[in-house]
């Protein structure tokens, strides 16, 4: 309204009168609600950083104590000792794999027979115990009751006999005899059936027979195992003293912290009497600086012994590698031996470096803050709640997350994109209307339900399949662990297929139909059109779909928490493809598992928030890249 | 008969076989997914349906839905009969047959009784978080679609929505734990030790203390609402934009203000769309476990949320059981055996039934809406 019209003459319309400010207030109300999203995002970032950033100084102090108390010094030797133990165990496993592999027939027969018998006793055990207890305990047993119990036992027995496990390596005759002997057992018979013990004896005899030619290997392994005993006793001796020092330092740290709290309270107190009281309390609680010099000097006196033990171990190891056979006949044994031989030179090289490291170690070297950051990002151990020393290294968790994502994406990308191409390009309208809702409905399944299926059904089914004789050529079969990277990967693939499917289908759908029409007009077949024209045009959209699927897989918690096996260890990559059948732990899983149990404000608690920050950053980067691809497609 | 096609193509076109193979492989991939999904549902229905449904009238085992969750006791009596009783009935049994011998007793946590507690808890969490998320989300969407023009503020909001939508649920759990459980302000006469900041209010010693709401229904609802907010905003904005511009123009031309236009001419037409898509958001809220693990959920609770409270508002500050967390507990914390199957598969079946009916409902509603609202 312009001033020339002389507004004072016109009565203002009631909308105008009521409100410029009223309208504006409504607008600002809505704007503030929209701004809430920014506030939430900011709060997430601020609080993650607030809890997380305190981790690095705290961890720095822990590493400092680790050094001052001499734990680091002991760990130099302990690391080699652990490597020695692992090598010994690999050699032992190779030895037994060789023997058992050579008498595999006897082993299977014995195992199957005892499995059958054990399944039977598991089922009938409780009712049988009832019969036994009641016929012994009371001098004049209630005959009515005893009769009932016996009938119950017979019933249970019949049920158990009807559902016995399969025994593919026993002959029909043997199986029948075994079942017959089980059936005719007396109630109070506690011995194993004769056939089971015979088979076990046969197996032991076969083992002994096969062990004869391997005696040289056995004695080599034994001598290697005993070569580490000197170092072992030295390490355990030093361990005790350094742990005592560490406890002293930690105790002093806690007292110091309390004193600071008291001082802060004193300066805040208004009442002068109370302030004086708090000040005196603070002064009296001033901790004595713990004596670390003495124990460290004592520890350093062990240096020559340590070096001597290491040299001895090195000499023994160099000698023993020459005595090991070049290969073994059984597949698994040969693989283990090869792994041991492969890591042997590294072990010796480590041993050679150790004396220099022992001499160069100084208890008073500073621990800069960067050390705590780098040992978090590149640390190979996530050890918490132990007596020795807590380490917060992210690598085992990141490796687990990555391996699971690889399995999930390898399965989900071809399936998801293939299904999208089929549904969009080849399927009849009727097929489309059936398949699309079903696949999209998978998205609505809560992740905890998938995890439940994984833990109760899929893991067991997979392990049973892995026991099939015809599949033994697959590395990692038979499965050692029911819950592993592969199980988790399969379920996450199922979770990410709908994401990849619907986004890829959208991308293909958004390709202008003129492209396909032009291609068909030139005489291309439908398959040619799809793969040469439509998919290249939709490529960046499909890539975005894959990235968003990846973001979903990395950030998923419940499935991996339930199904990944939760072993905090970098997977053993020497197993080749069998690596995918090992259990692992993940970035998301560790937060869900440990946050509820740690004391608030502790270094461990803060470490979990740093993992959260890392996860946040990774997922946001993936999503941002994906959205860049989507925008590229739009233009 | 003359067929011009014959002039061009004789027999099968070149590469026909290859085409068939490619189609076959792609169809195979598609149907493998469908088959796996079908197997999964079949397994859950086969094992879960017998828990909930019975052969006799009234066909539904209401006890499983309405009884509290308890520890299951399995034992034999002197006659060799096997009993499976939840803790309360087990105590009744002991009182009734005092002195009668009991053999082979085993207990299974969380496996007896029904799942009333988890169902009610999930319902409360869902309702609470949806109320919050719909209020703030729809308001934000109104701003974005009705008021906003290109500006750095709008750009920042869109970026924030995009980023919020991508954050993993466990990070929302961390966020909810550090903000709603440990840091938000409460008004109380006795601030806790861990309070970040206390502001005296000078009314009866009451202070505003930034000490958080503890693990409670409130904290869980707030966390879930934050998580679902971007979904609600995006869906609501879409349905607001679907209302034709002409409606607004006509209303404004009649002299109505913006707010009147929104209230009378835009919201009523977009409300069905908003509600339909929020049904889908409900399935997500009801199904999430990670955000409520540390903010609201508890594995075992004797009372239903409204029992044993001093004032009705205490329900907000009490912990609740939740169906997804209950399933997690049943799957991870207790050894599986034939006696726990009823609780395990029954809970999963009920949960899946709930989620499935919500999402099928939203699909049907959306289809109806599309055919009805055509401008």
What average pLDDT does range A106-121 have in this prediction?
80
The residues near A252 (Cβ < 8 Å, ≥ 6 apart) are A287, A288, A289, A290
β-pair partners for B187:
B208
SS3 sequence, B152-217?
A: HHHHHHHHHHHHHHHCCHHHHHHHHHHHHHCCCEEEECCCCCCCCCEEEEEECCEEEEECCCCCCH
For residue B369, give how far its alpha carbon lies from the nearest alpha carbon of chain A (Å).
17
Of B33, B178, B226, the CB nearest to A497: B33
Task: Locate the domains of chain B by residue range.
Answer: 4-52, 70-113, 116-175+213-372
Looking at the complex, does the CB of residue A422 fall below 8 Å from at least one CB of chain B?
Answer: yes
Per-residue confidence (pLDDT) for residue B139, from 0 to 100? 94
Of B36, B170, B331, the CB nearest to A452: B331
Query: Looking at chain B, which residue has its C-alpha nearest residue A526?
Result: B19
For residue B89, give how far its alpha carbon lies from the nearest alpha carbon of chain A (Å).
23
ipTM of the prediction: 0.89
Per-residue confidence (pLDDT) for residue A369, from 0 to 100? 85
Of A23, A438, A451, the CB nearest to B258: A23
What average pLDDT does range A472-480 have in this prediction?
78
| Phi, psi of A232, deg, nearest 5 | -60, -45
Could you report the per-residue pLDDT of A579-622, keeping only the tens digit for each? 888 899 999 999 999 988 888 888 899 999 999 999 999 999 99
Sheet of strand B82-86, all strands in order from the earlier edge strand to the far edge: B82-86, B69-76, B103-113
Per-residue confidence (pLDDT) for residue A225, from 0 to 100? 80
* Residue A17 exposure: Cα atoms within 13 Å on the Cβ side: 7
| Phi, psi of B359, deg, nearest 5 | -75, -35
Per-residue confidence (pLDDT) for residue A6, from 0 to 100? 47
Range picked from A139-143, A294-298, A491-495, B359-363 for highest mean pLDDT: A491-495
Could you tell me the pTM of the whole model? 0.84
Higher pLDDT, A260 or A560: A560
The sign one gets for the Cα dihedral A403, A405, A408, A414 is negative
Looking at the complex, does the CB of residue B364 fall below 8 Å from at least one CB of chain A?
Answer: no
Q: Which of residues 205-234 of B touch A (CB under 8 A)?
A: 226, 229-230, 233
Per-residue confidence (pLDDT) for residue A45, from 0 to 100? 94
DSSP A68-121: HTTHHHHHHHHHHHHHHHHHHHHHHHHHHHHHHHHTHHHHHHHHHHHHHHHHHH
Interface test with B, best of A44, A416, A457, A502 (most B CBs within 10 A): A44
β-pair partners for B200:
B207
Looking at the complex, does the CB of residue A136 fall below 8 Å from at least one CB of chain B?
Answer: no
Tell me, what CATH number does A599's domain have? 1.10.3720.10
Is A378 part of any domain?
Answer: no
Contact between B169 and A557 under an 8 Å Cβ cutoff? The reply is: yes
Which percentage of chain B shows pLDDT scores above 90? 29
For residue A11, give how far its alpha carbon lies from the nearest alpha carbon of chain B (Å).
15
Q: Which two tokens stand for residue A283?
A: 């002064």
Q: Quote the Cα angle for A572-A575-A576, to 5°.
A: 115
Per-residue confidence (pLDDT) for residue B174, from 0 to 100? 93
Per-residue confidence (pLDDT) for residue A411, from 0 to 100? 94
Q: Which residues of B fall within a CB distance of 8 Å from A456?
A: 331, 336, 344
Q: Which two tokens stand for residue A204?
A: 């032991």
Whether A2 has a pLDDT exceeding 80, the answer reads no
Per-residue confidence (pLDDT) for residue A311, from 0 to 100? 82
Q: Which of residues 287-326 of A touch B (CB under 8 A)?
A: none
Per-residue confidence (pLDDT) for residue A10, from 0 to 100? 54
Is A249 part of any domain?
Answer: no
Q: Which of residues 173-212 of B touch A (CB under 8 A)?
A: 173-175, 177-179, 182-183, 194
Per-residue confidence (pLDDT) for residue A420, from 0 to 100? 93
Whether A7 has a pLDDT exceeding 50, the answer reads no
What average pLDDT does range A111-138 have in this prediction?
74
Is A394 part of any domain?
Answer: no
What average pLDDT does range B176-191 have in this prediction?
86
Q: Which domain holds residue A135?
A: 100-214
Q: Residue B126: name the closest of B14, B220, B32 by CA.
A: B220
Q: Which residues of B fall within a CB distance of 8 Å from A47?
A: 175, 178-179, 183
Longest dimension (CA), chain B: 103
The gap between the terminal CA atoms of chain A, to the nearest Å, is 42
CB contact under 8 A, B293 and A435: no
Q: Which of residues 236-295 of B touch A (CB under 8 A)?
A: 255-260, 280, 283, 286-290, 293-294
Whether B2 has a pLDDT exceeding 60, the answer reads no
Looking at the complex, does the CB of residue B350 fall below 8 Å from at least one CB of chain A?
Answer: no
Inter-CA distances, B128 with A445, B131, B215, B219, B358, Å: 22, 5, 15, 10, 17
Q: Which residues of A fall within a CB distance of 8 Å from B226?
A: 40
Is A330 part of any domain?
Answer: no
Q: Which of residues 34-53 of A touch B (CB under 8 A)?
A: 34-38, 40-41, 43-44, 47-48, 50-51
What average pLDDT does range A219-240 have in this prediction?
80
Whether B360 has a pLDDT exceeding 70, the answer reads yes
Inter-CA distances, A245 with A57, A109, A297, Å: 21, 56, 12
Burial of A338 (0-12, 13-18, 19+ CB in 10 A): middle
β pairing state of B103-113 and B82-86:
unpaired
Q: Residue B326: name the closest of B169, B113, B178 by CA.
A: B113
Whether A548 has a pLDDT exceeding 70, the answer reads yes
Looking at the complex, does the CB of residue A130 fall below 8 Å from at least one CB of chain B?
Answer: yes
The helix (H) or strand (E) run that includes residue A436 is helix A429-442
Query: Looking at chain A, which residue has its C-alpha nearest residue B257?
Result: A15
Mean per-residue pLDDT of chain A: 82
Peptide bond into B58 cis (omega under 30): yes
Per-residue confidence (pLDDT) for residue B74, from 0 to 100? 82
Contact between A499 and A552 under an 8 Å Cβ cutoff? The reply is: yes
For residue B160, give how far its alpha carbon lies from the nearest alpha carbon of chain A (Å).
5
Neighbours of B235 (CB within 10 A): 21
Instruction: Give me the CATH code for the B116-175+213-372 domain, please.
Output: 1.10.3720.10
Interface test with A, best of B178, B299, B330, B356 (most A CBs within 10 A): B178
d(CA A65, CA B113): 52
Which percentage of chain B shows pLDDT scores above 70? 93
Confidence of residue B16 (pLDDT cuts 50, 70, 90): confident
Whether A37 has a pLDDT exceeding 90, the answer reads yes
Per-residue confidence (pLDDT) for residue A547, from 0 to 100? 93
A428 and A564 fall within a common domain: yes
Whether A362 has a pLDDT exceeding 70, the answer reads yes
**Could you identify the residue written with the tokens 């997690």?**
B328
For residue A171, give how far its alpha carbon lies from the nearest alpha carbon of chain B (Å).
32
d(CA B361, CA B358): 5
Of B30, B139, B332, the CB nearest to A33: B139
* Residue B293 exposure: Cα atoms within 13 Å on the Cβ side: 27
A491 and A612 fall within a common domain: yes
**Could you identify the residue written with the tokens 């946590």?**
B109
CB contact under 8 A, B140 and A34: yes
β-pair partners for B70:
B112
Q: Residue B336: name the closest of A66, A299, A495, A453 by CA.
A: A453
What average pLDDT does range A384-388 have in this prediction?
78
Whether B223 has a pLDDT exceeding 70, the answer reads yes
Q: Quote the Cα angle for A407-A413-A415, to 5°.
A: 105
Which percentage of chain A shows pLDDT scores above 90? 22
E strand segments, chain B: 69-76, 82-86, 103-113, 185-188, 198-203, 206-210
A535 and A609 fall within a common domain: yes
A39 and A107 fall within a common domain: no
Q: Which two tokens stand for residue A560?
A: 């991996």
Is A618 part of any domain?
Answer: yes
Per-residue confidence (pLDDT) for residue A327, from 0 to 100? 74
CB contact under 8 A, B23 and A452: no
Q: Quote the Cα angle for B174-B179-B180, to 5°.
A: 100
The helix (H) or strand (E) run that includes residue A391 is strand A391-392
**Helix B16-52 crosses helix B341-372 at what angle (to 10 degrees)?**
120
Burial of B133 (0-12, 13-18, 19+ CB in 10 A): buried
Could you report the per-residue pLDDT of A238-263, keeping only the tens digit for each? 888 788 788 888 888 888 888 887 77
Looking at the complex, does the CB of residue B136 fall below 8 Å from at least one CB of chain A?
Answer: yes
d(CA B108, CA B332): 13
The helix (H) or strand (E) run that includes residue B294 is none
Whether B247 has a pLDDT exceeding 80, the answer reads yes
Q: How many domains does chain A have?
A: 3
Could you report the per-residue pLDDT of B67-91, keeping only the tens digit for each? 788 888 887 776 667 778 888 888 8
Confidence of residue A331 (pLDDT cuts 50, 70, 90): confident
Interface test with B, best of A14, A26, A28, A41 (most B CBs within 10 A): A41
Could you report the per-residue pLDDT of A512-541, keeping only the tens digit for each? 989 999 998 988 888 888 989 999 999 989
d(CA A580, CA A402): 11
What average pLDDT does range B313-326 have in this prediction?
87
Of B33, B331, B344, the CB nearest to A562: B331
Per-residue confidence (pLDDT) for residue A502, from 0 to 100? 92
Q: Residue A39: name the closest of B153, B291, B209 by CA.
A: B153
Q: Which two tokens stand for residue A375?
A: 């040992």
Whether A299 has a pLDDT exceeding 50, the answer reads yes
The helix (H) or strand (E) run that includes residue A190 is none
- Enter the DSSP assignment of B74: E
CB contact under 8 A, B160 and A33: no
CB contact under 8 A, B144 and A438: no
Count Cβ–Cβ pairs < 8 Å, chain A vs chain B.
273
Neighbours of A346 (CB within 10 A): 10
Of B174, B229, B355, the CB nearest to A591: B174
The residues near A473 (Cβ < 8 Å, ≥ 6 apart) are none
d(CA A453, CA B48): 12
d(CA B144, CA B138): 10
The residues near A378 (Cβ < 8 Å, ≥ 6 apart) are A393, A395
What average pLDDT does range B37-62 have in this prediction?
83
Q: Which residues of A fall within a CB distance of 8 Å from B79?
A: 145, 148-149
The sign one gets for the Cα dihedral A539, A541, A547, A550 is negative
Of B29, B33, B289, the CB nearest to A448: B289
Confidence of residue A463 (pLDDT cuts 50, 70, 90): confident
| Phi, psi of B325, deg, nearest 5 | -70, -35
Whether B271 has a pLDDT exceeding 90, the answer reads no
Q: Which residues of B fall within a CB distance of 8 Å from A148?
A: 78-80
Looking at the complex, does the CB of residue A21 fall below 8 Å from at least one CB of chain B?
Answer: no
């Amino acid at each position: 309204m312009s001033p020339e019209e002389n507004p004072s003459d016109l009565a203002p319309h009631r909308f105008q009168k009521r409100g410029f400010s009223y309208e504006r207030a409504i607008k600002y109300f809505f704007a503030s609600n929209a701004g809430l999203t920014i506030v939430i995002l900011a709060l997430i970032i601020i609080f993650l950083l607030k809890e997380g950033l305190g981790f690095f100084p705290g961890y720095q102090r822990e590493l400092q104590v680790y050094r001052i108390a001499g734990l680091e010094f002991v760990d130099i030797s302990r690391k080699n000792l652990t490597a020695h133990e692992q090598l010994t165990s690999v050699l032992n496993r190779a030895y037994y794999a060789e023997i058992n592999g050579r008498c595999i027939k006897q082993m299977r027969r014995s195992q199957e027979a005892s499995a059958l018998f054990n399944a039977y006793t598991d089922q009938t055990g409780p009712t049988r115990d009832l019969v036994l207890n009641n016929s012994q305990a009371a001098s004049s047993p209630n005959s009515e009751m005893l009769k009932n119990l016996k009938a119950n036992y017979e019933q249970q027995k019949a049920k158990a006999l009807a559902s016995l496990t399969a025994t593919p390596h026993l002959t029909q005759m043997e199986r029948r005899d075994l079942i017959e002997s089980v059936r005719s057992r007396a109630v109070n018979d506690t011995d194993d059936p004769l056939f089971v013990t015979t088979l076990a004896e046969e197996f032991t005899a076969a083992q002994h027979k096969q062990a004869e030619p391997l005696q040289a290997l056995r004695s080599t392994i034994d001598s290697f195992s005993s070569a580490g005993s000197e170092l072992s006793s030295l390490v355990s001796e030093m361990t005790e003293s350094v742990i005592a020092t560490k406890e002293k330092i930690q105790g002093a740290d806690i007292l110091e912290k309390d004193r600071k709290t008291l001082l802060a309270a004193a300066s805040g107190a208004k009442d002068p009497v109370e302030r004086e009281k708090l000040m005196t309390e603070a002064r009296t609680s001033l901790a004595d600086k713990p004596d670390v010099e003495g124990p460290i000097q004592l520890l350093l006196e062990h240096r020559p012994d340590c070096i001597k033990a290491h040299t001895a171990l090195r000499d023994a190891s160099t000698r023993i590698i020459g005595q090991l056979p070049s290969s073994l006949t059984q597949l698994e044994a040969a693989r283990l031996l090869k792994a041991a031989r492969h890591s042997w030179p590294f072990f010796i090289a480590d041993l050679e470096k150790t004396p220099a490291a022992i001499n160069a170690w100084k208890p008073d070297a500073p621990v800069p803050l960067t050390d705590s950051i780098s040992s978090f990002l590149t640390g190979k151990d996530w050890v918490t709640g132990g007596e020795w020393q807590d380490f917060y290294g992210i690598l085992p968790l990141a490796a687990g997350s990555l391996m699971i994502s690889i399995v999930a994406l390898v399965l989900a990308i071809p399936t998801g994109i293939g299904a999208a191409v089929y549904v969009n390009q080849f399927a009849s309208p009727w097929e489309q209307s059936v398949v699309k809702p079903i696949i999209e409905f998978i998205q609505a399944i809560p992740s905890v339900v998938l995890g439940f299926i994984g833990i109760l059904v899929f893991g067991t089914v997979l392990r049973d399949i892995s026991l099939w004789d015809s599949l033994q050529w697959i590395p990692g079969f038979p499965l050692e662990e029911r819950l592993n990277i592969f199980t988790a990967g399969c379920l996450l693939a199922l979770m990410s297929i709908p994401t990849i499917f619907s986004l890829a289908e959208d991308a293909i759908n958004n390709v202008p139909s003129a492209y396909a029409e032009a291609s068909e007009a030139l005489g291309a077949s439908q398959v040619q059109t799809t793969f040469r024209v439509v998919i290249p045009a939709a490529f960046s959209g499909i890539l975005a779909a894959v990235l968003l699927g990846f973001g979903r897989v990395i950030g998923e918690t419940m499935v991996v928490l339930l199904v990944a096996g939760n072993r905090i260890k970098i997977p053993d990559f020497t197993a080749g493809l069998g690596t995918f059948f090992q259990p692992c732990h993940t970035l998301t899983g560790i937060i869900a598992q440990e946050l509820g149990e740690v004391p608030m404000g502790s270094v461990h608690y803060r470490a979990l928030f740093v993992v959260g920050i890392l996860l946040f950053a990774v997922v946001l980067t993936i999503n941002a890249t994906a959205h860049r691809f989507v925008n590229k497609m739009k233009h | 008969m003359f067929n011009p096609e014959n002039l061009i193509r004789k027999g099968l076109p070149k590469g026909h076989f290859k085409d068939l193979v490619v189609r076959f492989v792609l169809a195979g991939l598609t149907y493998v997914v469908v088959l796996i999904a079908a197997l999964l549902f079949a397994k859950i229905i086969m094992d879960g349906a017998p828990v909930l449904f019975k052969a006799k009238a009234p066909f539904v085992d209401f006890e499983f839905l309405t009884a509290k969750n308890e520890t299951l006791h399995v034992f034999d009596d002197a006659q060799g009969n096997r009993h499976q009783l939840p803790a309360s009935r087990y105590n009744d049994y002991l009182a009734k047959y005092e002195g009668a011998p009991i053999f082979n007793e085993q207990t299974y946590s969380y496996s007896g009784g029904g799942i009333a507690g988890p169902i009610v808890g999930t319902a409360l969490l869902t309702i609470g978080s949806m109320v919050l998320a719909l209020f703030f989300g729809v308001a934000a969407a109104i701003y974005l679609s009705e008021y906003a023009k290109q500006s750095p503020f709008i750009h920042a909001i869109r970026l924030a929505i995009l980023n919020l939508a991508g954050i993993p649920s466990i990070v929302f759990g961390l966020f909810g734990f550090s903000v709603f459980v440990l840091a938000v302000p409460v008004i109380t006469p006795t601030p806790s030790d861990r309070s970040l900041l206390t502001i005296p209010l000078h009314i009866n010693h009451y202070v505003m203390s930034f000490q958080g709401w503890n693990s409670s229904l409130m904290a869980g609802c707030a966390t879930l609402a934050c998580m679902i907010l971007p979904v609600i905003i995006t869906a609501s904005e879409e349905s607001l934009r679907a209302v034709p511009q002409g409606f607004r123009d006509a209303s404004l031309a009649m002299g109505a203000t913006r707010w009147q236009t929104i209230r009378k001419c835009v919201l009523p037409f977009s409300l069905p769309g908003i509600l339909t898509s929020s049904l889908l958001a409900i399935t997500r809220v009801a199904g999430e476990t990670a955000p409520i693990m540390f903010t609201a959920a508890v594995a075992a609770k004797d009372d239903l949320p409204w029992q044993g409270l001093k004032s009705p508002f205490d329900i907000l500050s009490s912990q609740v059981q939740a169906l997804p967390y209950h399933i997690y507990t049943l799957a991870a914390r207790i050894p599986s055996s034939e006696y726990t199957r009823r609780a395990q598969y029954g809970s999963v079946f009920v949960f899946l039934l709930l989620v499935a009916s919500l999402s099928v409902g939203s699909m049907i509603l959306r289809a109806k809406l599309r055919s009805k609202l055509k401008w």
